[in-house]
């Protein structure tokens, strides 16, 4: 893992939350995107070298909808930038972590993504991100 790629925050209302974070950072989201396969709509903000992703559920069965139902709004995941998501997933599996998706999938912001189960990472959902080239 090379660096924190972004911090994901689950929100109930993306547009209302965009206004809050726009005021917080003094700049609008640089990107909004829907990932239909995950039932989520996202927006991304930059703050210096740091990226924040806001996530809103687009259907009641999506992982974000379930998270919001259980825990309410707040930090959903921490994403780490990796050079080779397949080998990093394999390395982490060999270290005893549970990889939730064996085959990386296309995520938002031009990334391949894979997740580690929070039961193996002290309750924090970890996302691995590799830039699609």
CATH number for 90: 3.10.180.10
The model's confidence at residue 102, banded by pLDDT at 50, 70 and 90, is confident
How many domains does the structure of the chain reveal? 1
**Percentage of residues in the chain having pLDDT higher than 70:** 100
User: In this model, does residue 121 exceed pLDDT 90?
Assistant: yes
d(CA 131, CA 26): 27
pLDDT reported for residue 29: 97
d(CA 22, CA 99): 34
Domain that holds residue 97: 3-131
Is 59 strand, coil or helix? coil
User: In this model, does residue 129 exceed pLDDT 90?
Assistant: yes
């Amino acid at each position: 893992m090379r660096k924190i790629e972004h911090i994901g925050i689950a929100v109930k209302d993306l547009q209302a939350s965009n206004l809050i974070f726009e005021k917080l950072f003094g700049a609008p989201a640089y990107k909004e995107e829907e990932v239909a396969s995950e039932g989520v709509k996202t927006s991304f903000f930059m703050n210096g070298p740091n990226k924040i992703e806001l996530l809103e559920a687009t259907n009641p069965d999506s992982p974000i909808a379930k998270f919001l139902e259980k825990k309410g709004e707040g930090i959903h995941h921490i994403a780490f930038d990796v050079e080779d998501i397949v080998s990093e997933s394999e390395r982490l599996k060999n270290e005893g972590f549970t990889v939730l998706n064996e085959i990386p999938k296309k995520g938002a912001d031009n990334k391949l993504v894979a997740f580690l189960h929070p039961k193996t990472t002290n309750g924090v959902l970890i996302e691995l991100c590799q830039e699609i080239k």
